Structure 1
Amino acid sequence: MKAAFVGKGGSGKTTLSALFCRYLATRDADRVLAFDADINQHLAVALGADPGESERRPALGDHLEEIKEYLRGDNPRIASAAAMLKTTPPGPGSRLVRVGEANPLWDRLVTTAGGVRLAVTGPFAADDLGVACYHSKVGAVELLLNHMPGGPGEYAVVDMTAGADSFASGLFTRFDLTFLVCEPTVRSVAVYRQYIDYALDYGVRLAVVGNKVEDAEDVAFLREQVGADLLCWFGRSAFVRAAERGRFLPIDELEPANARALAELRTALDGCEPDWARYAEQAAEFHTRNALAWGNARAGADLTTQIEPGYTMAPATAAR
């Protein structure tokens, strides 16, 4: 199952992403894979990694051509890795990647932080400043999720960029469930409203997760503002405060109310049925947009022909 954490900057989405991944990993760490797709790249530290060490992790954005070459496999519709866009969908002959499998990409690009397997897009480098868009790095995550069939008991969890930046690519449509982290404030609710205005047109499943909730008045405010979208909420936490100061406690020492909220997140995600047809249609839509907008001109070819009609990653039809 694929999940994203989104929300206003400072709402705590990276903190909750880390808590959720640590919680899931206590059951089977090999079947959990976290992605840091936020420009700030703080997920490794939030999971318990040393700040200096986390900066030396291999970056997906630095290995985009290698990722393309592997995923291309022997798909006859893709002439070369150079012809692939971040939106190129899979088809017969493509290599698909699963969370818990062994493959050359995971061997090289996935490390561990706080007992959680983690892949990072990488920070801006000096050469990127003023000339590159961060979404070019996030494209590696989009490609991988495009080629990642999911299933019960497997979890890919992505810490996304803040606010509406998530909509700068088709990545926002790649999830079985999106958790929107919302503080009990007017500004945080405004981001929620902006997000649903965009997301609902694409059938994105969305659940609001309250954070920094201190009392019943905060809960009432969130219920009034987001209604039935409110799934659960997290209160102020001494456990989280300790982690912010570099002292990481075992996840089973999390406050009971906050631990129950993590369980609600997992139950909601496990209850989602992957909509393979919709995922394929949206992948084709965003690939067509990118091909027509700039990809065809760059490649000197019609890249919309990379789309295999009728292909989905549903277990009965997906090629491995």
Structure 2
Amino acid sequence: MPKIIAMAGKGGVGKTTITALLLNYLLAAQKTPVLAVDADANANLNELLALPVQLTIGQIRKEMKGELPPHITRDQYMEMKVHQALVEARGFDLLTMGQPDGPGCYCSANQFLAMTMDHLAGNYRYILVDNEAGMEHLSRMNLRVIDLLLVVSDPSARGIMTAERIAALTEPLGIQPGKKCLLINRAPADPEPALQNKIAEATSRSGLELGGLLPQSATLAAHELAGRSYLDLDGGEPALAAAFAVFDRILP
């Protein structure tokens, strides 16, 4: 069975950035094949990987509400469409959830994504899930057992407090992570004592392990603005080197 690594954290802290950097790491370490799942309805992981997405899980779900072609079962049709939705690249595939069925309705799309992942899981060594803000979507996707939960925060009191709350939701939602790590993204080079104290308090109360602090990077921002893939980052880029060092320590 593949190792499942899921991202969590409030909106805007850089979960998608961490997912792209982690994919870069796994490819460099030849820990392949990898399935990268963009489970955020506001999908943009493909943009950080410079990959076009033609078909999403949400679109497949909508198609399956209508008439199916003759002489094909629903399972056969779903399998065919899911393989069409996979964006294949060297060492990994990308699957995008896309928009849900209607305003505020995510349950059926998440359940469909869960069924899809059950069909595909055996083909991969790692599955990376770039999740929406919060934890409820992981629960709806039936991702009850996660090998590594990466809770991402920015270097703010509010972000760290939210990370602590998110980590506390694993038990009531029935999610069983093998390991829970806190990553502070866009951290200053010399963190103030107040920030270090906030991190120490949050990790001690929540059971989160401090995975590491990743620095702010103008290079990452420039790549995103130019539409260049994070997989093409130079190995000497400090943010990439820092991320690789963190992943070396915490990955299952």
- Which stretch shows the higher mean deviation, 257-266 or 27-36? 257-266
Q: Is the 8 A contact 1:234 1:261 kept in 2?
A: yes
Q: Is the 8 A contact 2:7 2:151 kept in 1?
A: yes
User: What is the CA distance between 1:266 and its match in structure 2?
Assistant: 5.1
For 2:18, which of 9, 16, 19 is the aligned residue? 16
C-alpha change, 1:186 and 1:211, in structure 2 (3 Å) is same
Deviation digits for residues 168-193 of structure 1, max 9, x if unmatched? 62534242111110112122123222
Deviation digits for residues 128-157 of structure 1, max 9, x if unmatched? 444x61232122332234456569x81110
Q: Is the 8 A contact 1:142 1:170 kept in 2?
A: yes
Q: What is the SS of the residue equivalent to 2:142?
A: helix
Structure with higher Rg: it is 1
Give the alignment's TM-score, normalised by structure 1.
Answer: 0.61
Matched residue, 1:223: 200
For 1:185, which of 136, 156, 160 is the aligned residue? 156
Matched residue, 1:135: 107
Letter in 1 for 2:215: G
- In 2: Cα distance, 1:148 partner to 1:22 partner: 21
More helix by share: 1
For 2:215, which of 210, 230, 235 is the aligned residue? 235
C-alpha change, 1:108 and 1:158, in structure 2 (3 Å) is same
Q: Is the 8 A contact 2:6 2:131 kept in 1?
A: yes
Aligned residues: 229
1:251 aligns with 2:248: no
For 2:87, which of 91, 108, 111 is the aligned residue? 111
- In 1: Cα distance, 2:86 partner to 2:44 partner: 16
1:59 aligns with 2:59: no
More strand by share: 2
- In 2: Cα distance, 1:206 partner to 1:59 partner: 29
Q: What is the aligned-residue identity percentage?
A: 27
- In 1: Cα distance, 2:225 partner to 2:29 partner: 26
Equivalences for residues 36-115 of structure 1 within 5 A:
36-49=38-51, 53-54=52-53, 57-64=54-61, 107-112=83-88
C-alpha change, 1:266 and 1:5, in structure 2 (3 Å) is farther
User: What is the CA distance between 1:220 and its match in structure 2?
Assistant: 4.6
- In 1: Cα distance, 2:249 partner to 2:152 partner: 17
Q: What is the SS of the residue equivalent to 1:264?
A: helix
User: What is the CA distance between 1:33 and its match in structure 2?
Assistant: 1.1
Letter in 2 for 1:178: L
- In 1: Cα distance, 2:167 partner to 2:247 partner: 19
1:6 aligns with 2:8: yes
- In 2: Cα distance, 1:210 partner to 1:234 partner: 6
In angstroms, what is the RMSD of aligned CA positions? Answer: 3.4
- In 1: Cα distance, 2:102 partner to 2:169 partner: 29
Q: What is the SS of the residue equivalent to 1:199?
A: coil
- In 1: Cα distance, 2:241 partner to 2:12 partner: 21
- In 2: Cα distance, 1:66 partner to 1:129 partner: 14
Give the alignment's TM-score, normalised by structure 2.
Answer: 0.75
- In 1: Cα distance, 2:169 partner to 2:21 partner: 27
Q: Is the 8 A contact 1:184 1:222 kept in 2?
A: no
